[in-house]
């Protein structure tokens, strides 16, 4: 049985933006603006939906491993390699 690939990326989130979008990718940190306030996990939920849409994976394939209440988060993405993640984000 082959082990499913999993990639981790660090994401710096700026909640409360006008629209959700990728700002930049520098020093291996993905800068993302999210169109949801950091209230009751709404920005995290929006981030997961935004990333799943960009990457073409289900929301259940994306998990916040560290930083649930922080702007800097460690995100685990199941089923994609690092190269595939960067390519789908238009950064590869």
**Domain spans, the chain:** 11-88
Nearest CA-CA partner of 86 in 39, 34, 22, 43: 22
Tokens of residue 17, six digits: 């933006």
Confidence (pLDDT) at 3? 55
Mean pLDDT for the chain overall: 93
27 — pLDDT class (breaks 50, 70, 90) = very high
CATH of domain 11-88: 3.30.1200.10
User: What pLDDT score does 2 carry?
Assistant: 44
CB-count burial class (<10 Å; 0-12, 13-18, 19+) for 42: middle
For 60-86, what is the mean pLDDT?
95
pLDDT at 74: 98
What does pTM read for this prediction? Answer: 0.90
Q: Which two tokens stand for residue 46?
A: 């929006």
Phi-psi region of 59 (alpha: psi -120 to 50; beta: other; left: phi over 0): alpha
> Tens digit of pLDDT for each residue in 58-71?
999 999 999 999 99
């Amino acid at each position: 049985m082959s082990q499913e690939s999993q990639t981790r990326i660090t994401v710096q989130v700026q909640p409360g933006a006008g629209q959700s979008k990728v700002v930049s990718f520098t020093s291996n940190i993905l800068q993302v603006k999210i169109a949801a306030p950091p209230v009751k996990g709404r920005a995290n939920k929006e981030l997961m939906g935004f990333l799943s849409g960009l990457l073409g994976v289900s929301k259940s394939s994306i998990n916040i491993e560290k930083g649930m209440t922080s702007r800097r988060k460690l995100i685990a993405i199941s089923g994609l390699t690092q190269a595939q993640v960067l390519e789908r984000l238009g950064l590869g």
